[in-house]
A and B are shown apart, each in its own frame.
Chain A
Amino acid sequence: MTAQTSATEPLLSVRDLVQEFVVRGAGGAKGGVVQAVSGVSFDIMPGETLGIVGETGSGKSTLARAVLQAPRPKSGTVVFRGADLTGLRGGRLLQARRNMQFVWQDPFGSLDPKWKVRSIVEEPLVAYRDGDRAARRKRVDELLNLVGLDPTRYAGRHPRELSGGQAQRVAIARAVALNPSLLICDEAVSSLDVLIQAQVLNLFERLRRELGLSYLFIAHDLALVKQVSDRVGVMYLGKFCEVGPGELVYKQPLHPYTKALLDSIPSTEPGAARATATIKGEPPSPIDPPSGCRFRTRCPRATDQCAIEVPQPRELAPGHLVACHHPLTEPAPADAAGAQPSDSVPSTAKAQG
């Protein structure tokens, strides 16, 4: 990020985004409403990367799709480059979305197996009628070079003739073909081996520098998200528990859930993970989330207040927001359900790598 950001408008501004799905029980009866995303708000500035971490079912992928309007969110606004996507239809939505592209987890699932690499990368250019055939051909060569694939060797191949890392590069080349300003990556490197993953992460970093791309980078791997992000949001059951500058969120987590996630990471220090106590149990169902704070059923600091009152995001440090009645900056409440006094002192909130 450069100094220019203070004066500029956010590239993407999401407010009170809600996405719900009705699940059907036996015989098609209404079984309940999955509250996948429940009132999420965030901004992404030009050139900035917002990372989102969360476990399975936290709603992070649903959030990405709701931003894309596929499917449309139930309520809330998604303002991208000044236009609210939730109010746009048809051709106008397509034009607005041109600058917002996606990279998904499974490259083989998102590349047509019958198409050659050249056609795959060219497709967005054809769809948006960008340039004539010769110009498009030249652009595809440029794009393949950009992602580190030699066009003379790879343009004529089918996806099955590529390794996972190469296929993901093709997906990235296609995503940046139209010079988007925002790239949404949903677990984009999670299926890759660690050495290939590092290559693709470095590619994302280079595209950020060279093309000034912004990213919404979604992954379950905390260290991975830290590596690429300026700011990080932690999701639990459809809501942000904590959002803030990456360094702060990891070094001084404010939400007990963030700390639990950090403590669960296996470390390359031998035996380190054995000492850390992580949270017990499993996330409750998003069909019937707990009242008040959604994390309270697993939280060592939960009190009666947490069951009654939904914690609102509070800015405890510049740009560092937490939605918690008893954040880690305070001593553990005396009446907490599962408080472990010796373990809950704020100074223990160190990031263990």
Chain B
Amino acid sequence: MTSLQTTDPLLVVEDLRVAFAAGGREIRAVDGVNYAVEPGKTLAIIGESGSGKTVGCRAIMGLLPGTASISGSARLRGTEMIGLNDSELRRHRGQDMAMIFQDPARSLNPTMRVGVQITEAIQTHRKVGKAEARAQAIELLRLVRIPAAERRFHEYPHQLSGGMRQRIMIAMALACRPKLLFADEATTALDVTTQAQIMELLLELQAELGMALILISHDLGLAASYADEVVVMYAGKIVEQAPARRLFGAGGTVKMRYTRALLDAIPHLERAAHTELPVVSGRPPDPTALPVGCSFAPRCPAAEDDCTAKEPALAEHAAGHRWACYHPCENGVSA
């Protein structure tokens, strides 16, 4: 993203690469990713399973196992996050950046009362007494709109619904008022009404706290509804990036055929029952044996010889809109 506005970006990711060794072969999970997030804005990173959307963000958070080899740069408020050791990272995690995950049930300790878990999160990062931490925890529960916060403080995770547990996770993530929150499929496991509640909560908190949000999701609908900027990933690379308003809705100008395919494959309410969904055949390439040229070419209806010969570079073809394709869609529609 180029600087359309004069605001300094909060997070600048440059040429981020993550690779794993698997049976003597290299899996390039994230392969040269660049993006920036401005304070208070929402970026959605969209992709299928294995596209590298989660791995890239975990690399920035320092949550990948030691077997991952990470290179490139991710500067948060000017400070490089890649290559920090554990204790240095711990200073940034919570204070500057935090993450919530898909399955709140597995992220919470089932044997501890939720209040104690939030208090622990506060005391890990701040030198405060027990009573003060407890007061802050109850305040956090109120912040995430949990009714009867004093009572919920003493409950165990199994006594709470999925939506409530995700609110607890958000409360813990916000304990130190981070500037950046990664939400990794944070509403995927929730029902639609609960998902709408959690997304509304996240947006309200974002406005209250001036925090930037990175939504990691497979759901383009979620990105269209809630994000300012959208990044689409395929096989470890960004294939398209644009403001949400440019991509979606009436007059949307999706350029990548992969993004178009994702949009078309979503069942939506306007479509009549029993109609055939437009599909692309095949599945994402084997990450240990990526094709030469464009990774999507083997599945792409518009692929020609140049696509399989040389990989199209991600370039800014229109103001704020980057894509990596030799034969992009015209007017957002597949020819």
Binding site for B on A (CB under 8 A): 49, 55-56, 163-165, 193-199, 201-202, 205, 208, 220-224, 226-230, 246-247, 250, 260-274, 276, 278-280, 282, 351-353
* Contact in complex: A221, B244 (CB < 8 Å): no
Residue numbers in A under 8 Å from B220 (CB-CB): 194, 268
| B262 at interface, CB cutoff 8 A | yes
Tell me the chain B residues, 244-292 only, with Cβ under 8 Å from chain A.
Answer: 244-245, 248-250, 261-281, 283
* Contact in complex: A265, B221 (CB < 8 Å): yes
CA A201 – CA B278 in complex, angstroms? 11
Residue numbers in B under 8 Å from A353 (CB-CB): 268-270
* Contact in complex: A229, B262 (CB < 8 Å): no
CA A353 – CA B271 in complex, angstroms? 9
> Looking across the interface, which residue of chain B has its beta carbon closest to that of A280?
B197
Given the contacts A197-B265, A270-B249, A205 and B271 also touching, CB distance less than 8 Å: no
Given the contacts A226-B267, A265-B221, A268-B249, A278 and B193 also touching, CB distance less than 8 Å: yes
> Looking across the interface, which residue of chain A has its beta carbon closest to that of B191?
A55
> Looking across the interface, which residue of chain A has its beta carbon closest to that of B258?
A195
Q: How far is the CB of B250 from chain A (nearest CB, A)?
A: 8
* Contact in complex: B221, A268 (CB < 8 Å): yes
Dominant SS at the A interface? helix
Per-residue contact bits, chain B 92-131, to A (CB 8 Å; 1 contact, 0 not): 0000000000000000000000000000000000000000
Residue numbers in B under 8 Å from A352 (CB-CB): 269
CA A353 – CA B274 in complex, angstroms? 17
* Contact in complex: A270, B277 (CB < 8 Å): no
Residue numbers in B under 8 Å from A196 (CB-CB): 283
| B203 at interface, CB cutoff 8 A | yes
Per-residue contact bits, chain B 201-219, to A (CB 8 Å; 1 contact, 0 not): 0010000000000000011
* Contact in complex: A198, B265 (CB < 8 Å): yes
* Contact in complex: A246, B273 (CB < 8 Å): yes
| B226 at interface, CB cutoff 8 A | yes
Of the candidate stretches B69-77, B79-87, B161-169, B314-322, the one touching chain A is: B161-169
> Looking across the interface, which residue of chain B has its beta carbon closest to that of A206?
B276
Given the contacts A261-B192, A264-B192, A193 and B271 also touching, CB distance less than 8 Å: no
CA A273 – CA B161 in complex, angstroms? 23
Q: How far is the CB of B297 from chain A (nearest CB, A)?
A: 15
CA A274 – CA B199 in complex, angstroms? 9
> Looking across the interface, which residue of chain B has its beta carbon closest to that of A193?
B48
Contact of B196 among A199, A202, A264, A351 (CB under 8 A): A264
Residue numbers in A under 8 Å from B200 (CB-CB): 274, 278
* Contact in complex: B283, A163 (CB < 8 Å): yes
* Contact in complex: A223, B162 (CB < 8 Å): no
> Looking across the interface, which residue of chain A has its beta carbon closest to that of B274?
A205
* Contact in complex: B277, A202 (CB < 8 Å): yes
CA A272 – CA B245 in complex, angstroms? 11
* Most chain A CB neighbours (cut-off 10 Å) among B197, B245, B250: B197
Residue numbers in B under 8 Å from A49 (CB-CB): 273
* Contact in complex: A227, B267 (CB < 8 Å): yes
Could you show 23 A-B contacts with beta carbons less than 8 Å apart?
A: A55-B193, A193-B48, A193-B49, A195-B48, A195-B265, A195-B280, A195-B283, A197-B265, A198-B277, A198-B279, A202-B276, A208-B274, A229-B273, A262-B269, A264-B196, A266-B195, A266-B221, A266-B222, A268-B220, A271-B225, A274-B203, A274-B226, A352-B269
